[in-house]
Structure 1
Amino acid sequence: MALQHHLLSSEYTLIGIDIAKKQHDAMILWPDGKNRLVRFENTIMGYGELLNIARKKNAPIAIAFEPTADYHRNIAFWMHSQGIECYQVSSLSCARAREILYQTWDKHDHKDAKLIIHLMHQGLMRPYYDPLVHQTMDFQELSNAYHQISLARTRCYHSLINHYVANYFPALEQFMHSSRAERFCKLLIQFPTPRTMTQRPKGEFVQVAWDVVGKKRYKQRFLEELYEIAAVSIGLPVPTPSLSVSMLKLQVERYLTSAYQRNELEKIAETPLAEPEDYRHLRSIPGVGPIIALIILAESGDLRRFLHYRQYLNYCGFNLSGKQSGQKKATYHLSKQGNV
């Protein structure tokens, strides 16, 4: 973690903020060594009250905080808009400093504010990179939406395989591979149980299901084989229509909706990212597609703010730890203790 040498002088008013949801705890350390603990509301009025107290001494102000979910984003943006220098401290640094100073792992808001002041006084912090200020918030929101929709799609797919297909049509699982799941989900809406297939003659079933399956090689043979499998299926003989079948169709439609939304986001991902040069460089790396490039830019922001590749490795938590004990040269490997 980089040292902020200009803050080590006694010219700055330092504010360490323990972030919470509704109320924040802060410790103010003035240049003359006096300090004060302040609890303020997570509102503009609360932010203004904190600054009014800190500005009693005519000195430049710097704040630092431990990032907590997304609750720090609002106060950091507002403070930046007021011309305040904003920094962040590592959660691991806070945990280790807490153990060293207080010999305990207990978390108390006022103690955490003091810990942040201690880390600021040592210069152990990084400048806070605000995605809204640096115009990377759209990347973050797109990446987050893609992640949430992918999770919902996966959960729904596992629910279909492990519950509905297992109960009503176990033999269909052999065809429900992830790359072909959408095709068979459309088939499940039309024919949710084996009985709905076999209640028609084979030729009529093939004709009705022909367009539902979509493009497929040897479609005639496949549909005839599927009909024969349905005829000897051990699936539960649920009547159609019924509430159980309606719930199956509901889950299938949820899966198809999330799959459609994910595909649309993949198309959208290339639109805002086509211009940045960093995106084009990332896409030139084998195995890096539009979504992976989107995630990298969403998490990293402007890649050019890192002056050396080791700084970026450190930012990602991949910096190497050296061991030289009893040796002429140090050997480097990934640290298993985390990064401060």
Structure 2
Amino acid sequence: MNNQACIKHERFCQFRREIRGSKEHLIVGIDIAKDKHYAFFGTSTGKTLFKRLIFDNNLEGYKKLLARVDAIKVQHCLSKVVFGLEPTGNYHKPLGAYLDRCDFTVVIVSGVAVKRNRELLDGRWDKHDTKCAANIADLISQGKCLFYDSPSKEITDLRNLLSLRKRLKKEEHSLRMRIRNNLLAKYFPELDKFYGQCESENLAIVRWCLDPRIIADMEFDQFFKMVTRRERGIAQKKRLRAIWDSAPDSVGCIPGESSEFEAGILVEKLRQVRQVIEKTEDLIKNVGKQFPAYSLLLTIPGVGPYIASVILGAIGNPSRFKNRKQVLKLAGYDLSANRSGKTSKDAVPVISKKGNSVLRYALYQAALVARPLQNAPFCPITASGKNFNPRNTQCIPVVEIFVFLVLEQN
């Protein structure tokens, strides 16, 4: 599978080198939508061969597209064809996978490049489907396109699980904020300052004692047994007693039946989401163990199962990278500076913050954890004693170690 991916990448690199001024390439720019796609056919010299083809997002529509491609290739004596797509949600993936299975050259164009290049076509900001397809074809004719990655099943599974975990974590955070900023702020505001200390007990209070008057009518021992599962020590009792003492003087509103029902629903839903997150993280670990580099990444200080999985999922097939600088660009850790009219000492380089933001965040968090261990003999950071700053280069040594392990394992 890696050999096939390397062959496709080499073919893409060759295409980038020879596309400008080529007389044998047919360029098909496709504007992606949910139900129907718009295709533009042209050459790398700027000649329009067929302005607009509308085809459905199904097998019949794909066959219609390929039939038109074959007809234009024969009519204009063109031997090669390249399809260009602008990623639009997930709508482009079925077409891209179908063309990739048919062994066509497929590339993608950045949405930022499409936006900036649109006005260059005719000097106007007008936007419609036909013009967007022509815009994509124009960028491809200039070689301003990206490699269409078709990862292995294991990488696809890993990316899907990471995406699912990200959505679940957002849902978890949303539920926590609804409980804290909606229910507690209205009915028991005195509990908010204790909310971050032991959330399981706080959720039990929200679920069974949202009305502070219920707590005020209880003895402390009865309240303690209701909201706890086991005794943890003096600090726990001191905290719960402070909550119990504040209940009689609470300034919160009086909750009704609807509020108590909402509290029960939110607490149960939060617990269910957390259980699903745990199962998802276990699946991520199991999928990650299938990669040889996974165990190597776990040996680096600051790298846990989640961050190792993020690194592997973002990099995909390491063989498509020629050197470490390309992976640093993928993470957005390459250095950039505005040197126009300045001397080198006055232009301070900072990281570009382009590329994969999830990978960049994961690497930076790992670097923050590894930073206190810089004096350890096995730690990858030993040269700098400065504090971390996300705008400078302090975490790049750690990133280079990550890249080294991932690339060298091949």
Same fold (TM over 0.5): yes
Q: 1:99 to 1:321 in 2, by over 3 A?
A: farther
Partner residue of 2:365? none
1:181 to 199, 210, 219: 199
Partner residue of 2:383? none
Q: CA RMSD in A?
A: 2.9
The question of whether the paired residues in 2 share the 8 Å contact of 1:195 and 1:230 is answered with: yes
Q: How does 1:11-90 map to 2 (within 5 A)?
A: 11-29=24-42, 35-36=49-50, 37-56=52-71, 57-58=73-74, 59-90=79-110
Q: How does 1:1-340 map to 2 (within 5 A)?
A: 4-8=16-20, 9-29=22-42, 35-36=49-50, 37-56=52-71, 57-58=73-74, 59-131=79-151, 133=152, 135-177=154-196, 180-211=198-229, 214=230, 216-218=232-234, 219-238=236-255, 242-321=257-336, 325=340, 333-334=349-350
The code of the aligned residue for 2:249 comes to V
Could you tell me how far apart the structure 2 residues matched to 1:104 and 1:285 are?
52
SS of alignment partner, residue 38 of structure 1? strand
SS of alignment partner, residue 55 of structure 1? helix
Deviations 1:240-262 (A, max 9, x none): xx222111211122222222222
How far the C-alpha of 1:73 sits from its partner, in A, is 0.6
Q: Which runs of 5+ in 1 are unaligned?
A: none
Could you tell me how far apart the structure 1 residues matched to 2:185 and 2:48 are?
68
Deviations 1:213-232 (A, max 9, x none): x4533244443333222222
The code of the aligned residue for 1:163 comes to N
How far the C-alpha of 1:124 sits from its partner, in A, is 1.9
Could you tell me how far apart the structure 1 residues matched to 2:63 and 2:145 are?
24
Could you tell me how far apart the structure 1 residues matched to 2:114 and 2:224 are?
65
How far the C-alpha of 1:328 sits from its partner, in A, is 7.7
Q: 1:210 to 1:120 in 2, by over 3 A?
A: closer
How far the C-alpha of 1:275 sits from its partner, in A, is 3.0
The question of whether the paired residues in 1 share the 8 Å contact of 2:44 and 2:141 is answered with: no
Q: 1:210 to 1:119 in 2, by over 3 A?
A: closer
Deviations 1:143-179 (A, max 9, x none): 11111111111111111111101122111111211x6
- Highest relative contact order (Cα 8 Å, sep 6+), 1 or 2? 1
Q: 1:39 to 1:244 in 2, by over 3 A?
A: same
How far the C-alpha of 1:116 sits from its partner, in A, is 1.8
The code of the aligned residue for 2:207 comes to I
Identity value in percent: 25
Deviations 1:88-131 (A, max 9, x none): 11222222222223223332211121122222222222220023
Could you tell me how far apart the structure 1 residues matched to 2:219 and 2:336 are?
69
Of residues 26-35 and 321-330 in structure 1, the stretch that sits farther from structure 2 once superposed is: 321-330
The question of whether the paired residues in 1 share the 8 Å contact of 2:29 and 2:134 is answered with: yes
Q: 1:237 to 1:6 in 2, by over 3 A?
A: same
The question of whether the paired residues in 1 share the 8 Å contact of 2:158 and 2:309 is answered with: yes
Could you tell me how far apart the structure 2 residues matched to 1:237 and 1:325 are?
64
How far the C-alpha of 1:303 sits from its partner, in A, is 3.2
Paired residues, number: 333
Q: TM-score, normalised by structure 1?
A: 0.86
Of residues 249-258 and 77-86 in structure 1, the stretch that sits farther from structure 2 once superposed is: 249-258
Deviations 1:290-333 (A, max 9, x none): 22332333333223421112222333444444655567869573
The code of the aligned residue for 2:26 comes to T
Could you tell me how far apart the structure 1 residues matched to 2:44 and 2:252 are?
76
The code of the aligned residue for 1:257 comes to Q
The question of whether the paired residues in 2 share the 8 Å contact of 1:278 and 1:303 is answered with: no
